Every structure is written in C-alpha cells, then in structure tokens.
Amino acid sequence: MNTGIIPANWSGPLLSVLRIMTGLLFISHGTAKFFQFPLVEYFKDGVPLFSMLGLSGVLELVGGLLIIIGLFTRVTAFVLSGMMAVAYFMAHAPQGLFPILNQGELAIMYCFVFLYIAAAGAGPWSLDATREKTFGHAAHA
C-alpha cells in the first residue's frame, strides 16, 4: 500500500524527468561557453578549447546531451558527478567554508544529483531503457 502523495509507480518517469531537466540545465553551461547562448557576460568572448574552462565546456556539452537522451547514463553521470566535485573544491571551497557564501551550492547539487543518477540509472524514458529492452541486460556492459 502506497501512502505517499505521489504514486509509487511514478518513480521511474520522475527519475527520467529529473535526468532530462538536469541535463538541459547542465548543457546550457557548455552552450554559454562555446556558442554564447545564452549570453553570459563572463563567457562573451568564448573560452579556449584547450583550457580548464574549455574542458569543462566539452564535458557540459557532451555529457549534458548524453544525460538528456539517456545514453550511457550511469557512466556519464558518474564522470559529471566527479567533475562537479572537482569544480567545487577548486573554484568554490577556497572562497570560504559555507556553500551559500562561496556560491558553491549549484556545484554541490549537480554533484549529488549526478551521483544519484549514476546509481539509479536513466529511468524508463531513455535510450538506455530502449537498448535494454532491445538487447537485454548486456547493453549495460
């Protein structure tokens, strides 16, 4: 018996919605860096591809796209979780102890949402789920 407000059988679709929305929000960091869309003042001149910001932009673009479509989701989310942990400790933690003061809240949230997605998988609305239905459990290997 489910006593929750949201029916238990919604957990799979809501996992897919969480994954898709997280990917859409995340990919915008990469598009801002390389395509100036949306235009962010800090990235108005773009970023060099072979730099830390360039590497992060590539991971945001490619990783964000893979997260959105739900392909190779577990490994992609794990890599992005690690990327966001590194980003927090390199860029935010040196500015102070508290995330609300060092503007590191978003990096921490991405880190743990991606870690959750790495553990939970892509959900039913994904190319990973389609691959699993088509090819069986071997698709995860």
Alpha carbon distance 124, 109 (integer Å):
23
Q: Where are the alpha helices (DSSP H) in the chain?
A: 11-35, 52-58, 64-69, 73-87, 99-102, 105-120, 127-135
- pLDDT at res. 136: 87
Model confidence at 76: pLDDT above 70:
yes
Q: Give the mean pLDDT of 34-57.
A: 95
Model confidence at 94: pLDDT above 90:
yes
pLDDT tens, position by position, 53-63: 999 999 999 99
- pLDDT at res. 137: 72
Domain coordinates of the chain in residue numbers? 11-140
- pLDDT at res. 112: 98
Q: Give the mean pLDDT of 5-9.
A: 88
